[in-house]
Amino acid sequence: MALTVTDSNFEELLSDGKPLVVDFWAEWCGPCRMLSPIIEELASEYAGRVNIGKIDVDNNNEIVAQFGIRNIPTILLFKNRELADKCVGALSKASLVEKIEKLL
């Protein structure tokens, strides 16, 4: 299951030592809802190797502002506490797997 990322736990997850993949989404966003099952599958498949989570843009303004998120879905991928990649819009599972594998 994907982690719930919030303004308050983002730094803790980022400092965990594992790569971090964060899906910026909202309940009302159609493409976000289409991407959600893929995020959940990847969270299960990469459990223990990569932290994969979702952050609700409507309830977490600090992180949204910090990274200048203007469109959703947006996926940020972090390695060693640094932003390694950014994807805007819905992606295929294969595309996300390719990006996650580069983090490992």
- Annotated active-site positions, please? 29, 32
Cβ burial, residue 60 (10 Å; 0-12/13-18/19+): buried
Cα Rg of the chain, angstroms: 12
Single-letter residue type at 34: M
User: How many whole angstroms separate alpha carbon 47 and alpha carbon 27?
Assistant: 24
What does the H/E/C string look like for 87-101? EECCCCHHHHHHHHH
